[in-house]
Amino acid sequence: MIKVTIDDIEVEVEPGTSILNAARQIGGEVVPPAMCYYSKLPGTGGKCRTCLVEVAAGSTADPRPMPKLMASCSTAVMDGMIVKNKTSQRVHDNRGGVVEFLLINHPLDCPVCDQAGECHLQDLGYEHGSAKTRYKEERRTFDPIDIGNKIKLHMNRCILCYRCVHVANQLTDSRVHGVMHRGEHAEISTYIENAVDNDFSGNMIDVCPVGALTDKTFRFKSRVWFLKPMEAECSCTKCSGKAVVWMFGNEIYRVTARKDKYGEVEDIEDKTAWICNECRFDKKDPSAWNITGPRKIDRHSVISQGQYATKIDKGLNKIG
Amino acid sequence: MAGRKLLIENVHIPGIETFDVYRKNGGYASVEKALKKMTPEEVVEEVKKSGLRGRGGAGFPTGMKWSFLAKPEGVPRYLVCNADESEPGTFKDRYLMEKVPHLLIEGMITSSYALGANVSYIYIRGEFMYILHILEKAIAEARANGMLGKNIMGSGYDLELVVAPGGGAYICGEETALLESLEGKRGNPRMKPPFPAVKGLWGCPTVVNNVETIAAVVPIVNNGGEEYAKIGIERSTGTKLISAGGNLVRPGVYEIEMGVTVEEFIYGDDYCRGIANGKRMKACIPGGSSVPILPAHLVTKTAAGENRLMTYESLADGGFASGSMLGSGGFIVFDEDQCIVRNTYTFARFYAHESCGQCSPCREGTGWMEKVLHRLENGHGTMEDISLLEEINKKIEGNTICPLGDAAAWPVAAAIRHFREEFEWHVTHPAEAQTRNYGLIQPRVEEIKAL
């Protein structure tokens, strides 16, 4: 075990752990945001640059600071490393810069975007974005396309995190879904709008940090914060059958995998509980599910109703 | 007197591109010497002694890079030659490969032997298809004469040399993007670490070297590392190919001894012979489009008033405030009629076009800079745009996966640093800026003495 200090908090982690995962072991405020890294998908990370942190001391053996800010998701910790995240103004400024970059071409269509309320870019925008844009030019636009009959791709909203590419790569033998073109013109696509023909393709929607990939069976049906997330199980032969159903009254509006506070699909019995397309898109009848109880959403977002309740409780207590 | 030439000494000999003529003129002597008389470690040692530094731009000591190569048992090692020369202003590797293809092949054999590679690659830029044919012809000749294949010159050493063309993306000149592209994937740079010396091509230890670096191994092995180190000044040893371009009387590829003064190089009779059409110099980019631009008064003299030399150290003297870099040796000179804003816009457009789009600061930032510069150049800019450019710069620099982000940010930052008044003039005189160029930076201009 090696010792690393993040924002003045010391933690012991396994050798080879990334700074981001060490910070997640501490939890709370010291965890850098991550838009592209996804711990369940090998090979992700390093691209969005929102998780940049300052390494004030490389290790006990070589305590020099690292000159550049490092991507915490892809930098391994060293014994005696001192990392600054929240405590570094430089990190705050540069992360703000990255958020600005991510937003210059991102449409301000949150009012009609299905991801609103559970969007990681929205969270980042609140924390780091400024109220006005300095970008005067026309934003780049693409036409929405269908990836199969159940998934809609809004390339305008995409931040090119490559998570869905990694999902598709792991699902299929041949390359069917990837990034085309370069630089500003880069876009996620299937070659000539082919469907990704796989029973688990719907998981692309779950890994998307923004509203670029949306569930066509749920689009425009309801805002997510009006729905009640419930833990549910079904006897599915393809997947674990353990999911979250989002209900309004007695109706199931959408089905997603069970996600943790970092937006990542949870492990159930040591296996990442991806859900199959049949569970996700077709089982909208409550009788198909055994609903076991409310799902606690532990995220800094409007969908964390429980969290809101506690905040209100605390506020009332203070007044009282 | 022009200095010694080690690489392009024999280009004038007719037929030097053929094996027989090349061999008659002392070619493949380094292969003979290395394979018959030296161990691989001894070759690496000579390269270390020579002080040779990477000629592709970063100037990292080659011997050190070679000694970092991991050597696990039973895992193949690779040498990859980076012939993806696409830096605007740099055309030295193209010249070298076109004129003396066997020099590169000889260097590849000697270097591969030193590194213990049995398959080596030359990754060549897709646009250089005609050079690919030249190289393949030369490789076939070398193979027919027993310089490639099994048991080279009876030494028991085997080597296959493969030329692989890229698709013509600038980003594939970055070593990890090059490896991705060579593996048949999209040319996105990889996250480092692991470095290629540990996990490179197909997950095996790999060294990636520039064409000129590999070619320089030939005279180093032939004459010994110490002899090579005698040329040059301090840590800049040997000779360097400079691709001189722009408003010069005699542009072209020059092989210089490190340590020639910049003044001699621009104005000397053996080199570029001054600025064309009797004009005065306005600015100079000494190392290819990615390095900071220098105004005339900082080109031949450093800020401290010393003569600036063609070395890694001297060109970088003064840091980013008043210095630049030797880079890949793409020496671009601007006369007084050139517009710095337009030039900066051209570069920004290049980098925006060539950004791979993998990481956010570069993908969004390069495009943004291009658009802001387009506004400034076309008379729609504001004073805020200039400071906006500076801020975008700061947010890109150092925050990207690979150096392309820095390479895109530095030229813009340097242009604003040294030519701010020209940018401001574009804002205050939008109509006039469309019809004439700003000319020399008036208050700072000093008489540049020709030799």
User: Best mutation site among A101, A130, A155 for testing chain B: the one with the most B CBs within 10 Å?
Assistant: A101
Distance (Å) from the alpha carbon of A68 to chain B's nearest alpha carbon: 6
At B4 the pLDDT is 85
The pLDDT tens digits of the residues spanning A42-76 come to 889 999 999 999 999 989 999 999 999 999 999 99
Distance (Å) from the alpha carbon of B349 to chain A's nearest alpha carbon: 11
At A303 the pLDDT is 66
**Mean pLDDT confidence for B108-126:** 95
pLDDT of B444 > 60? The answer is no
B41-46, long-range: CB < 8 A, 24+ apart: B43/B110, B43/B111, B43/B113, B43/B114, B43/B217, B43/B221, B44/B114, B44/B115, B45/B225, B46/B220, B46/B221, B46/B224, B46/B225
DSSP labels, B54-83: -TTTT--BHHHHHHT----TT---EEEEEE
Output the average pLDDT for chain A. 88
pLDDT of A170 > 90? The answer is no
User: In A, which residues are within 8 Å of B354 by CB distance?
Assistant: 182-183
**Mean pLDDT confidence for B172-187:** 93
At B434 the pLDDT is 86
At B119 the pLDDT is 95
DSSP labels, A50-114: TTEEEEEE--SSS-PPPSS-EEGGG-B--TTEEEESTT-HHHHHHHHHHHHHHHHTS---GGG-T
Q: Does B367 touch chain A (CB under 8 A)?
A: yes
Q: Domain limits of chain B?
A: 19-230, 233-335, 340-435
CA distances from A197 to A7, A144, A212, A237, B189 (A): 45, 19, 19, 18, 29
User: In B, which residues are within 8 Å of A105 by CB distance?
Assistant: 364
SS3 letters across A294-318: ECCCCCCCCCCHHHHHHHHHHHHHH
How confident is residue B58, by pLDDT bands cut at 50, 70 and 90? confident
At B303 the pLDDT is 85
The pLDDT tens digits of the residues spanning A260-280 come to 888 899 998 888 899 999 999
Contact by Cβ (8 Å): A203, A257: yes
How confident is residue B451, by pLDDT bands cut at 50, 70 and 90? very low
Distance (Å) from the alpha carbon of A111 to chain B's nearest alpha carbon: 24
Nearest to A179 among B171, B186, B366 (CB): B186
At A302 the pLDDT is 66
Do the two domains B19-230 and B340-435 of this chain adopt the same fold?
no
- Least confident segment among A306-320, B127-141, B394-408: A306-320
Q: Model's pTM, two decimal places?
A: 0.91
Distance (Å) from the alpha carbon of B392 to chain A's nearest alpha carbon: 8
DSSP labels, A245-279: EEEETTEEEEEE--B-TTSPBPEETTEE----HII
**Mean pLDDT confidence for A71-98:** 93
Angular region, B79: left φ>0, alpha ψ -120 to 50, beta rest: beta
Contact assignment for B364 to A105 by CB distance below 8 Å = yes
**Mean pLDDT confidence for B156-183:** 93
* Pairwise pLDDT comparison (B444 vs B301), residue with the higher score: B301
Nearest to B368 among A69, A76, A135 (CB): A135
In B183-279, which ranges are continuous DSSP H helix?
Answer: 211-223, 225-230, 262-267
At A33 the pLDDT is 93
pLDDT of B159 > 80? The answer is yes
Residue type, A38: Y
Distance (Å) from the alpha carbon of A180 to chain B's nearest alpha carbon: 9
Q: Does B388 touch chain A (CB under 8 A)?
A: yes
Torsion over CA of B237, B241, B242 and B243, rounded to 10 degrees?
-160
Contact assignment for B364 to A46 by CB distance below 8 Å = no
**Mean pLDDT confidence for B243-258:** 94
At A305 the pLDDT is 55
CATH superfamily of the domain spanning B19-230: NADH-ubiquinone oxidoreductase 51kDa subunit (3.40.50.11540)
Nearest-angstrom CA–CA distance, B315 and B256: 15
Contact by Cβ (8 Å): A287, A262: no
Q: Does B383 touch chain A (CB under 8 A)?
A: no
SS3 letters across B77-130: CEEEEEECCCCCCCCHHHHHHHHCHHHHHHHHHHHHHHHCCCEEEEEECHHHHH
At A192 the pLDDT is 63
Residue type, A282: D
**Mean pLDDT confidence for B270-289:** 92
At A189 the pLDDT is 83
CA distances from A135 to A140, B356, B366, B384 (A): 12, 21, 13, 12
Look at strands B239-246 and B252-257 and give their pairing: antiparallel
> What CATH number labels B233-335?
3.10.20.600
Contact by Cβ (8 Å): B303, B321: yes
User: Best mutation site among B181, B358, B382 for testing chain A: the one with the most A CBs within 10 Å?
Assistant: B358
How confident is residue A193, by pLDDT bands cut at 50, 70 and 90? low
pLDDT of B450 > 50? The answer is no
Read off the tokens for A41: 């998908």
User: In A, which residues are within 8 Å of B352 by CB distance?
Assistant: 183-184
**Mean pLDDT confidence for B9-17:** 91
**Mean pLDDT confidence for B265-294:** 92
* Pairwise pLDDT comparison (A170 vs B22), residue with the higher score: B22
At A307 the pLDDT is 42
> What CATH number labels B340-435?
1.20.1440.230
pLDDT of A140 > 60? The answer is yes
Contact assignment for A97 to B360 by CB distance below 8 Å = no
Q: Map out the domains of chain A with their CATH numbers.
A: 2-100 (3.10.20.740), 107-131+140-215 (3.30.70.20), 225-306 (no CATH)
Place of tokens 């820095």: B406
